[in-house]
Amino acid sequence: MSVTGTKNRLLRALPPGELEELLPQFERVEVRKGETLVTVGQTLEFAYFPEGGLSSNLSVTGEGRKVEVACFGYEAMISTATVLGSDRAPHEIMVQTGGPWLRIGAEALRGAMRRSPTLHDLLLRYTHVLIMTLSQTALSNAAFTIEERLARWILMAHDRLEGDELPLTHDFLAVMLGTTRSSVTLAVQALEGYGAIHAKRSLITVRHRAMLYDLAGTSYGPAEAEYERLIGPFRDKPPPHAG
């Protein structure tokens, strides 16, 4: 079935005429929770533009240890390596919450970028934002407490998922934050104590976004603000300071 519209915020930042011309080159696919879509070093045959769900960019050690360096949803594309001229994936891409994605051949996307300076510039701006996100993750891991980092990650997930209920287990959060499950449990309890969240098995409910924003401090926000400055809004929720 021909693709004639999309919920992907990045593609929707294109002028309507260019978007209408580009969309027929895509196909819509469904990705599932737990699926590893791309592995490190894999040849990139396709580029993807999510329309929903939540997924992670994972750095992987030679011994197989994995740490999340960014998460993404319907504001994103994968992989920016294609935009920068590389045919190999720098990160593992793992799906945390499934949803519909749009897929286009990597060569087809490069051809579209050559024909459209607007598309080329838009994807370069997104690549800049992703680099900021990676840098912010490195800074957060080095300079912020586990409670601040957890608040940041919950805000990032909340930005990208509909509603206030986030299907996140402690084991998953430990991988995402590069720490132990017991440390995550203590951090979750601390955020619950502040009234920012409510946690039960495999589910975290955001109760007070403004509290999470205060708890995260400057670990959250710079990359999100840059996305909105350069590309456009990617959240339907109130701004970060709102309750």
Answer whether residue 237 is part of any domain. no
In CATH, what number is assigned to the domain containing residue 87? 2.60.120.10
Q: Are residues 107 and 196 in the same domain?
A: no
Task: Map tokens 């104590």 to a residue.
Answer: 193
> How many domains would you assign to the chain?
2
Answer whether residue 243 is part of any domain. no
Enclosing domain of residue 105: 11-138
The pLDDT of 97-125, averaged and rounded, is 95
Q: What is the pLDDT of residues 81-90, one digit of tens each?
A: 999 999 999 9
Q: Is 22 exposed, middle or buried (0-12, 13-18, 19+ CB in 10 A)?
A: buried
Q: Are residues 115 and 151 in the same domain?
A: no
Q: Is 238 exposed, middle or buried (0-12, 13-18, 19+ CB in 10 A)?
A: exposed
The pLDDT of 5-30, averaged and rounded, is 94
Q: Are residues 104 and 172 in the same domain?
A: no
Q: Are residues 160 and 91 in the same domain?
A: no
- Tell which of 114, 138, 162 closes a domain: 138
Answer whether residue 4 is part of any domain. no
- Tell which of 138, 173, 201 closes a domain: 138
Nearest by Cα to 72 from 45, 89, 95: 95
Q: Are residues 155 and 130 in the same domain?
A: no
Q: Are residues 121 and 157 in the same domain?
A: no
Q: Are residues 33 and 97 in the same domain?
A: yes
3-class secondary-structure state, position 60:
strand
Q: Are residues 18 and 128 in the same domain?
A: yes
Answer whether residue 5 is part of any domain. no
Contacts with 197 (C-beta within 8 Å, 6 or more apart), sequence order: 154, 188, 191, 204, 205, 206, 207, 208, 212
Q: Are residues 187 and 100 in the same domain?
A: no
**Average pLDDT over all residues of the chain:** 89
Q: What integer pLDDT is reported at residue 121 of this predicted model?
A: 97
In CATH, what number is assigned to the domain containing residue 215? 1.10.10.10
Q: What integer pLDDT is reported at residue 1 of this predicted model?
A: 53
User: Where does residue 130 fall: left (phi above 0), alpha (psi -120 to 50 degrees), or beta otherwise?
Assistant: alpha
Q: Are residues 21 and 96 in the same domain?
A: yes
Q: Are residues 125 and 29 in the same domain?
A: yes
Contacts with 100 (C-beta within 8 Å, 6 or more apart), sequence order: 7, 28, 29, 30, 31, 50, 51, 52, 53
Q: How confident is the model at residue 179 (pLDDT cuts 50, 70, 90)?
A: confident
Answer whether residue 1 is part of any domain. no
Q: Are residues 103 and 176 in the same domain?
A: no
239 pLDDT above the threshold of 50: no
Q: What integer pLDDT is reported at residue 115 of this predicted model?
A: 95
Q: What integer pLDDT is reported at residue 243 of this predicted model?
A: 44
Answer whether residue 6 is part of any domain. no
What is the percent of the chain where pLDDT is above 90? 60
Answer whether residue 76 is part of any domain. yes
- Tell which of 138, 160, 187 closes a domain: 138
167 pLDDT above the threshold of 90: no
Element (H, E) at 83: helix 80-83
Answer whether residue 168 is part of any domain. yes
The pLDDT of 163-177, averaged and rounded, is 80
